Structures are given as structure tokens and as C-alpha cells.
């Protein structure tokens, strides 16, 4: 690609970015509709493979998604309201138990300053934040109610999402094909490859990881309910939804459930039940749910997950926390391709010395380099004691020049 073409491509990308920025206020319903269409497209494709035409498959999937989105709040809101009311009623008992049992242990055994563990300060802080949250909510509701235009705009966006989602879902394959045809031919294959791998990673996270989180939440909730905890749903679903952060959901869930069991039942057998519930949940997650629903397509190290969430929260607040892992997964795909291109470049290979063959390997024949595949086929492998093993795709001719672009 010439320098002129590169500048033209950069100008097009900048123009698209500016246009999206200017249209940002009206793009929200379209973005939500596109997300729903992307989530439902694989199910539509499966129904097509079973003999349904595209319109019938889209209608069935759209009806299912609509029922889920309508029924889920109707089921969850009353349950959450009941659990929060129970928590508010039990909160003095929990604070009293912490004050009587936990604080003396920390002060006597660990030498913690009692002023740092003052529950009065904790209660005052919670009350102040609750009042602030109520004030913000009241201001927001008052602002919305005082503006008829805002209510109409919000209602129109709410009605626009399902309509746009239906058409996006029906024409998803056509739109992606048209977008592919607009790509410059010399970068079309690379962009399609990156898009396909990014789609696999995002599918593993959004479809797979969310399914794992909900399944864990249900397992924990049902198990804690069978164990006799009154806050089973609140603790179980909280632990399940936080499981995308390694160890965080399990630690908070076990801690909260153990405290609830000790306060409500004041014996150790219910603590054993709680530990058994989380042990079963963690076992199912590691050996059944994650391999089945997610697999190894995300491939993010736990430290990378934690860093991505903290960095997203620091840069963009709560929205950054929600988008941290999907963005990190896509960046991982891009960095993987950058790494592959780097190890093929002359910058990486320049000055490399031929390595001695290992014991038990034959000497290279005429015209062969050490470690080369004799038939010049799929790859070249460089080996050495304590050295990095690198595999890379090469041309059929071993003597072909290396692309240094």
C-alpha cells in the first residue's frame, strides 16, 4: 500500500470517527439494537440449518428475546425487593454480631486499633451515602418529570430499539457482507481474520461468560436457600455476577454467606453447608460450565482481567468497568497478530546466528538450514537449549525473502 493510500484510509477512519462522535446522542438505540441482533444471530443461523427460512427464524428468536427481556424484570424486581428488605431488617443483627464477635478477636489477637473498626462510623457513612443516592435519584426523577420532551424522547428510544433490532437481525448477514465488500482489497483478508477472531472472543465472553455467571448465581442461590439462609438470592446472585473477576465473587460470597449463617443459625453445621455449596459451585465452574460455555477462547490471565477492570474504572468510571473485559479481549487478538508480524520481521530476525542441532537429530542436508522442515512446508522451528521456540508460516520456497513490512 502506497503512502497516498495510507493517508486516504486514515482520513476515512477519522471522518467516520468524527461522524460517530457528532451522532452520539442519537446512536444509543441503534447500538443497543445492534448488540441484541449480534447476540441473536447465531441462534437464527442454527434455526436456518434446521430448515427454517430466515424470516421465520428471526421471528422466533425475536419473540423469545422479547419475552425474556419483559419477564426477567417482572420476576427479579419483587425478589430483589424482598431480599433487600430482609437485609435492612437483619442489618442491626449483623452489626451486633460483628461488634460482639469479630471486633474483640481483631483487637486482642491482631492488635487492630478499635477506632478503625467503629461500626458507628460505618453506619453513619452508609446513611450519608444512602441519602446522597436518594437525593441524586430524586433530582433525576424531578428533572425527567419536569421535562415532557425528555419523557417522549426516552419512550421513543424504548420503542425504537425492538424495531431496529428486528431489522438488524433479519438483515445481519447481508449487512456484514456489504461491509466486507467496502474494504480495500489488499487489507480485506487481514481485517476479516481479525474481525472473525474478535467475534469468537467476544462471543465467548458475552454469550459464554454471562451464561456462566447466571448459572453460578442460580447454583449459589438454590444451594444457599436449601442451606436455610434468608438472603440466599441476594448473596448467591451477587457472587455469581461477580465471578467474572477471578476469586472476587467466591471470596465475597463465602464471606457474606458465612456471616449470614452464623448470625441466623449460630451453629457450625450451616457454615459447613455454605462451604459445601460454594465448593460444588466452584467445581462445576472449573470442570463443566467454563469448558462447555466459554472454552479457552478468551485466554486472559487473571492478573490481566483485574488490571483491565481497574484501568477501565479509573479511565471511564462504571461504563469502563462494564466494557473493560470485551475491549481487553479484542486488544488481545490485535496484539497477538502484532506479535506474529514482529517475529516474522527483519527487526526480530536480523543478526540471528544458526543454531547447532540438538542431540539425536540428523545433520542438515545440502541446501537446508538447521531446524528447517525438509519439505519446506508448513513451518520453521528454531530450537536451542533455554531458547524461545518460535513457529511461523513461511512460503513454499525456503529461500524466499522475509517480509519486513
Q: Which long-range contacts (CB under 8 A, 24 or more apart) does 190-195 make?
A: 190/337, 193/337, 194/333, 194/334, 194/337
pLDDT digits (tens, 9 = 90+) for 296-308: 656 667 777 778 8
For 389, list phi and psi in degrees, rounded to 5: -95, 120
Nearest-Å Rg of the Cα atoms of the chain is 28
pLDDT at residue 394 above 70? no
- The span from the CA of 253 to the CA of 93, in Å, is 19
In the prediction, which pLDDT does 383 show? Answer: 38
- The span from the CA of 134 to the CA of 128, in Å, is 10
Question: 70-79, 194-203, 277-286, 301-310: which has the minimum mean pLDDT?
Answer: 301-310
pLDDT at residue 366 above 50? no
Beta bridge partners of 382: 390
Count other C-beta atoms under 10 Å from residue 318's C-beta. 9
Count other C-beta atoms under 10 Å from residue 78's C-beta. 10
Q: Find how far residue 377's CA is from the centre of its chain.
A: 38
In the prediction, which pLDDT does 385 show? Answer: 38
Length of the chain measured in residues: 405
Which residue's entry shows cell 477512519? 13
Does the predicted model carry a pTM greater than 0.85? no
Count other C-beta atoms under 10 Å from residue 173's C-beta. 13
In the prediction, which pLDDT does 129 show? Answer: 53
- Looking at residues 2-21, what average pLDDT do you find? 82
Inter-residue contact 329 to 300 (CB < 8 Å): yes
Give burial (CB, 10 Å; 0-12/13-18/19+) of 19: exposed
pLDDT digits (tens, 9 = 90+) for 256-288: 999 889 888 888 899 999 999 999 998 998 888
In the prediction, which pLDDT does 401 show? Answer: 47
Amino acid at each position: 500500500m502506497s503512502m497516498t493510500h495510507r493517508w486516504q484510509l486514515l482520513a476515512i477512519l477519522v471522518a467516520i470517527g468524527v461522524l460517530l462522535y457528532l451522532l452520539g446522542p442519537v446512536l444509543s438505540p441503534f447500538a443497543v439494537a445492534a448488540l441484541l441482533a449480534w447476540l441473536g444471530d447465531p441462534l437464527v443461523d442454527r434455526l436456518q440449518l434446521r430448515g427454517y427460512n430466515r424470516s421465520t427464524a428471526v421471528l422466533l428468536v425475536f419473540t423469545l428475546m422479547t419475552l425474556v427481556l419483559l419477564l426477567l424484570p417482572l420476576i427479579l424486581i419483587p425478589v430483589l425487593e424482598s431480599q433487600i428488605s430482609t437485609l435492612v431488617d437483619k442489618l442491626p443483627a449483623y452489626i451486633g454480631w460483628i461488634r460482639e464477635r469479630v471486633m474483640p478477636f481483631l483487637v486482642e489477637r491482631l492488635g487492630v486499633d478499635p477506632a478503625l473498626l467503629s461500626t458507628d462510623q460505618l453506619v453513619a457513612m452508609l446513611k450519608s451515602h444512602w441519602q446522597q443516592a436518594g437525593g441524586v435519584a430524586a433530582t433525576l426523577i424531578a428533572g425527567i418529570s419536569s421535562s415532557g420532551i425528555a419523557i417522549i424522547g426516552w419512550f421513543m428510544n424504548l420503542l425504537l430499539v425492538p424495531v431496529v433490532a428486528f431489522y438488524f437481525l433479519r438483515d445481519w448477514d447481508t449487512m456484514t457482507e456489504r461491509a466486507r465488500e467496502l474494504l480495500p482489497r489488499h487489507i480485506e483478508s487481514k481485517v476479516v481474520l481479525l474481525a472473525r477472531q474478535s467475534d469468537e472472543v467476544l462471543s465467548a465472553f458475552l454469550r459464554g461468560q454471562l451464561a456462566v455467571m447466571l448459572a453460578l448465581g442460580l447454583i449459589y442461590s438454590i444451594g444457599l436457600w436449601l442451606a436455610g439462609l434468608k438472603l440466599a438470592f441476594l448473596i448467591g446472585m451477587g457472587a455469581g455476577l461477580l465471578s467474572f473477576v477471578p476469586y472476587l465473587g467466591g471470596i465475597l460470597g463465602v464471606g457474606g454467606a458465612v456471616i449470614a449463617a452464623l448470625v441466623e443459625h449460630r451453629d457450625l453445621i450451616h457454615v459447613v453447608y455454605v462451604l459445601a455449596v460454594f465448593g460444588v459451585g466452584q467445581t462445576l465452574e472449573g470442570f463443566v460450565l467454563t469448558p462447555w460455555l466459554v472454552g479457552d477462547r478468551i485466554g486472559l490471565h487473571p492478573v490481566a482481567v483485574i488490571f483491565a477492570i481497574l484501568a477501565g474504572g479509573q479511565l471511564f468510571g462504571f461504563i469502563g468497568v462494564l466494557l473493560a473485559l470485551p475491549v481487553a479481549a479484542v486488544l488481545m487478538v490485535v496484539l497477538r497478530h502484532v506479535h506474529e508480524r514482529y517475529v516474522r520481521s527483519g527487526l526480530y530476525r536480523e543478526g540471528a546466528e544458526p543454531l547447532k542441532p540438538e542431540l539425536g537429530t540428523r545433520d542438515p542436508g545440502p541446501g537446508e538450514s538447521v531446524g528447517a522442515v525438509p519439505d519446506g512446508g508448513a513451518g520453521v522451528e528454531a530450537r536451542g537449549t533455554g531458547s524461545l521456540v518460535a513457529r511461523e508460516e513461511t512460503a513454499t520456497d525456503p529461500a524466499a525473502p522475509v517480509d519486513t513490512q
